[in-house]
Amino acid sequence: MTTAVATETLVTLEEFRAAAAVLRGVAVRTPLLPSDALGARLGVPSFVKPEMLQRGGAFKFRGAYTFLSKLDPAQRARGVVTASSGNHGQAVALAAKIFGVPATIVMPTTVPRAKRDGCERLGARCFYHGITTAERMERAQELQRAEGLVLVPPYDDLTIIAGQGTIGLEIAEDLPIVGTVVVPIGGGGMSAGTATALKLLLPNVRVVGVEPAGSPKYTTARAAGEPVTVPANPEGLADGLLAVRIGTRNFHHLQAHLDDVVTVPDRVLPSAMRFAIDRLKLVCEPSGAITLAALLEGLVKPSGPTVAILSGGNMEYDGLRAVLGAAEGAA
């Protein structure tokens, strides 16, 4: 773990707590659920943080609502726009609806139906463009310039990091004896915020990031010492974690506070999803199950009481059947 990062560039404990105050009574304070089934497999007391129970079906609402709350009313009234693989789009659409302002969401042409339909149900204007973060962000910025909209960053922003990092505050408050926390890495907002908040409160906790083997943007950046663009992987199962480049601000937080990172192949995600359904009674999308997969496959060796963050569950019934059915057919 590298720590040579200026502390003034990182979110502070006071900023995490301020974000938590903004979210109080608006976002769901998701419970920390003990799991005897997971504990039996791992040999340590085990818990899951079920962010599929968050408003919008994923952790993203924490950052989106925090960001919109910081805008003055005149800024919000112009309308907001974002680029998203789906979950952040739903979160922005929901936050905009709460504030009574219009939202425009740019998603990839490959966006799963559950995420597309979720944005549309919330009243957002939706565009579908390209397959990579860069392609949809370019289109979002075009709309921002043409229509005077306010751009809501998906992850590379200190306010977004602070909002998403409230997950770390909650874990530290609910389980101060936690030994290991396993967090998924996409663009890096939630992993950066969660790792930072946890380390500020519990310096001895071990925080391990998990990313898809087909999109190892932080693993690659860590080896290089700086953010690096990796090849796009539009066919990856964990669609919410397929960013091709870690955010710059996120990278600095992770370098300072993440202890390790592992990669997980797509082929083990369906079994982790099935474990969540059968043993935890929770529905995870592939991105949400990746931390479970890392633990169940022995890629992360837990030390002390262990928490797996399940980042979301935005997957319709047909999509869930297709993923699990395909895995059973290939077995």
Tokens of 10: 């990182």
165 and 19 Cβ atoms separated by less than 8 Å: yes
- Outline where DSSP puts E strands in 46-114: 46-50, 80-83, 103-107
Which conformational region is residue 281 in: left (phi greater than 0), alpha (psi within -120 to 50 degrees), or beta? left
Tokens of 106: 């740019």
Look at strands 260-264 and 33-34 and give their pairing.
unpaired
User: Is 311 an active-site residue?
Assistant: yes
User: Distance between CA 247 and CA 70 in Å, rounded?
Assistant: 21
149 and 128 Cβ atoms separated by less than 8 Å: no
What sign does the dihedral 249-255-261-263 (CA atoms) show?
positive
**Helix-helix angle 248-257:217-224, to 10 degrees:** 70
Residues in the chain: 331
Catalytic residue among 46, 49, 60, 217: 60
> Burial code of 159-191, b = ≥16 C-beta within 10 A, e = fewer?
bbbbbbbbbbbbbbeebeebbbbbbbbbbbbbb
Query: How far is CA 191 from each of CA 159, 183, 288, rounded to the nearest angstrom?
Result: 14, 6, 13
**Catalytic residue set:** 60, 311
